[in-house]
Structure 1
Amino acid sequence: MKKLIALLFGFLLGVTAYAQKLIDWQEIETSKDSYQHTVYYQKGKKKPLNGNYRIQKGADEEIVSLKKGVMDGKYRRLRDGVVREEGNYIDGLRNGLFVEYYQDGTTHRKDTPMKDGKIDGTVVTYFSNGKKESEKTYRNSLEHGTERRYSQSSGEILIEGQWTDGKKEGMWKEIFDAGGGVTGVKMQHYQEGELDGPYSVEMSKGGKPYITIRGQFAKGRKTGKWSQYDAELGNTREWNEK
């Protein structure tokens, strides 16, 4: 029974390989149609390509379905025989979820939702251990919504903030490790992509207060009264920014 299944699987692979026409990228030329969709031709021939193709691009191989030269259907990109990206095209535009694989080709990946060729929704990346690495929301390929970045070991949120039409907006929080036992929390405020509002950095060393910086930004520039407190020296330095 197992032998029969193996033979059947091999036959199906053979049929699939036979159905896909192998062509090298050097044998292809492209142009744009009236909708700015990429149209594929074989060099020296005016007729657009039709059918299922395996396009060789050095170490990469793209498995595509072409209708009148335009991608339409399932799409896969392989490198050295391992799937690195897959998704779906409709009339030359990416639609639905595109999954991009990294490193071992399975667990470390990036999920990108597409609509009419543009990123639309939350893009999620994963570490090689399967834990979430980052998430960022888009609308019409512009950052719009929440962005978060996570710690690989603990899963803690390291960076969190909001975007509006491709620009940072409101409060952003960042947890960082400066090395030497020094960790910190940075709080920043943005307006239309520029630092604008209260700013603070609170650092600790070995779990104890270390350095605290407080100030203000206006339209991307430091302004007003600033201060820096050094817990080890027990003093505070203050100054004014013009």
Structure 2
Amino acid sequence: MKRFFLIFFIFAILFSKNSFAQNILEETLIYRGNLAFNQESDDPINGTVISKFESGQIKEKGNYIDGLRENEWREFHENGSIKSTINYRNGFKHGIFELFFEDGKLKGIGNYNNGNEQGNWQEFSNDGNFLYIGNYDDGVLEGRWQTFHANGRLFSMGNFSGNKKNGMWEYFDDKGKLFKIQIFENDLLIKCEGQCPKKED
């Protein structure tokens, strides 16, 4: 019986320590390289870390494992609504990223792969109109990109290759009328037709 109570007592202590460690203020952390530590320990941090606004509302919340950010992290607006969600793997952003307005509407969505933007990214106005649609490859602008006027109509459309504009880019006014065409080669403007900037003498 005494042995049973001793084991129970030990587990109770361990549980209470783990529960306490799951609520760590970000301001108490110190960083050595890319690892986070508690100021009172030489061990990398483990548990849930939060940061707060001056009002006391939670600003950001997520988990550290062995000093690195892991799994889902959430950032909040001061009114308590979610501002963004992102997953981490071994300290790097990895997976779907979502950004929200204070009223909860989706502001942007994209994807990370080991810390770099990857695949299709989109951003929206509060009215739900597109602001841009584009693609990344390992953090580099790649492929078709489109930007939009505030009313949702297409403003520009063209291609990136290795972070540089290449080929034909078309530009439209907020009524949908084409007003300019530009031709690029490795980000260098080769030709412009329509409403083009005047060349300086």
Q: Is 1:88–1:94's contact at 8 Å kept on the other side of the alignment?
A: yes
1:40 aligned partner: 36
Please report the TM-score for the alignment, with normalisation by the length of structure 2. 0.78
Cα distance in 1 between the residues matched to 2:40 and 2:58 = 24
1:164 aligned partner: 161
How far has the Cα of 1:55 moved from its partner? Answer: 2.8
1:95 aligned partner: 94
Tell me if 1:131 matches 2:129.
yes
2:24 aligned partner: 23
Q: Is 1:107–1:127's contact at 8 Å kept on the other side of the alignment?
A: no
Partner-residue secondary structure (3-state), 2:142: strand
Instruction: Count matched residues.
Output: 179
Tell me if 1:190 matches 2:184.
yes
Q: Which amino acid letter does the alignment assign opposite residue 97 of structure 1?
A: I
2:140 to 139, 142, 158: 142
Cα distance in 1 between the residues matched to 2:148 and 2:41 = 51
Cα distance in 2 between the residues matched to 1:107 and 1:121 = 22
* Aligned counterparts, 1:182-221, within 5 A: 185-196=179-190, 198-202=191-195
Q: Is 2:98–2:106's contact at 8 Å kept on the other side of the alignment?
A: no
Structure 1: tracts of 5 or more residues without a match:
1-17, 33-37, 203-212, 216-221, 223-240
Deviations 1:176-206 (A, max 9, x none): 36xxx9x76111111101101x31125xxxx
How far has the Cα of 1:23 moved from its partner? Answer: 3.3
Q: Is 1:19–1:52's contact at 8 Å kept on the other side of the alignment?
A: no
Partner-residue secondary structure (3-state), 1:95: strand
How far has the Cα of 1:19 moved from its partner? Answer: 7.9
| RMSD over aligned Cα atoms | 2.7
Partner-residue secondary structure (3-state), 1:26: helix
Q: Is 2:62–2:71's contact at 8 Å kept on the other side of the alignment?
A: yes
Q: Is 1:167–1:193's contact at 8 Å kept on the other side of the alignment?
A: yes
Cα distance in 2 between the residues matched to 1:131 and 1:93 = 30
How far has the Cα of 1:132 moved from its partner? Answer: 2.1
Q: Which amino acid letter does the alignment assign opposite residue 118 of structure 1?
A: N
How far has the Cα of 1:60 moved from its partner? Answer: 5.8
Cα distance in 2 between the residues matched to 1:174 and 1:31 = 48
- Bigger strand fraction: 1
Question: Which is greater in Rg?
Answer: 1
Tell me if 1:118 matches 2:110.
no
CA gap 1:74/1:112 in 2 versus in 1, 3 angstroms: same
Cα distance in 2 between the residues matched to 1:184 and 1:145 = 21
Q: Is 2:98–2:109's contact at 8 Å kept on the other side of the alignment?
A: yes
Cα distance in 2 between the residues matched to 1:112 and 1:172 = 23
Q: Is 1:20–1:54's contact at 8 Å kept on the other side of the alignment?
A: no
Please report the TM-score for the alignment, with normalisation by the length of structure 1. 0.65
Cα distance in 2 between the residues matched to 1:56 and 1:40 = 18
How far has the Cα of 1:172 moved from its partner? Answer: 0.6
Q: Which amino acid letter does the alignment assign opposite residue 172 of structure 2?
A: I
* Aligned counterparts, 1:220-231, within 5 A: none
